[in-house]
A and B are shown apart, each in its own frame.
Chain A
Amino acid sequence: MEQVLKIEDLRTHFFTGEGVARAVDGVSVSVGKNRTLGLVGESGCGKSVTALSILRLIPSPPGKIVDGKITLSGKDILSLPEVEMRDIRGKLASMIFQEPMTSLNPVFTIGTQIIEAVRIHTDMGKAEAREIATEYLSKVGIPAPAESMSQYPHQLSGGMKQRVMIAMALCLKPALLIADEPTTALDVTIQAGILRLIKDLQAETGTAVLLITHDLGIIAEMADEVAVMYAGKVVESGPCNSIFSSFVHPYTEGLFKSLPSRTERRRKLYTISGTVPSALRFPPGCRFHTRCPLAIEKCKSEEPPLVDVDSGHRCACWVRAGGSA
Chain B
Amino acid sequence: MMLEVKDLKMYFPIKRGLLRRTAGYVKAVDGVTFSIGKGETLGLVGESGCGKTTVGKCVVRLLRPTSGSIYFENNDISGLSPKELREYRKRMQIVFQDPFGSLNPRMTVSSIVGEGLKIMGQRSGEKEVGELLETVGLSRSDGSRYPHEFSGGQRQRIGIARALAVGPSFLICDEPVSALDVSIQAQIINLLEELQATLSLSFLFIAHDLSVVRHIADRVVVMYIGKVMEESPTEELFAIPLHPYTHALFSSIPSLDPAKRRGLNPLPGEPPSPADPPPGCRFASRCPKVTAKCREGDIEVVEVSKNHRVRCILYG
Contact = CB atoms under 8 A, between A and B. Distances in A.
Report if A and B touch in the complex (beta carbons < 8 A).
yes
Interface of A: 42-43, 157-160, 187-193, 195-196, 199, 214-218, 220-221, 223, 240-241, 244-245, 254-255, 258-263, 265-266, 268-272, 275-276
Contact of A188 (B181, B186, B187, B253): B253
Interface in B170-192: 181-187, 189-190
Give the secondary structure class of B's interface.
Answer: helix
Interface in B218-277: 234-235, 248-249, 251-259, 261-262, 264-267, 270
B47 interface: yes
Nearest to A256: B256
A213 to B, nearest CB: 10
A189 B266 contact: yes
B258 A218 contact: no
Interface stretch (B72-80, B118-126, B206-214, B290-298): B206-214
A255 B181 CA distance: 10
Contacts of B189: 260, 269
B114 interface: no
15 contacts: A43-B152, A188-B253, A189-B47, A195-B254, A216-B182, A216-B256, A218-B254, A221-B255, A221-B258, A244-B258, A258-B183, A259-B182, A259-B256, A266-B216, A272-B183
B184 to A, nearest CB: 8
Contacts of A240: 258
B153 interface: yes
A321 B190 CA distance: 31
A108 to B, nearest CB: 23
Nearest to A275: B151
Nearest to B50: A187
Q: Which 8 A-B pairs have the closest CB atoms?
A: A217-B254, A193-B266, A260-B215, A187-B47, A261-B211, A258-B186, A269-B186, A42-B181
B151 A260 contact: no
Contacts of B264: 192-193, 195-196, 199, 221
Contact of A42 (B182, B248, B251, B258): B182
B300 interface: no
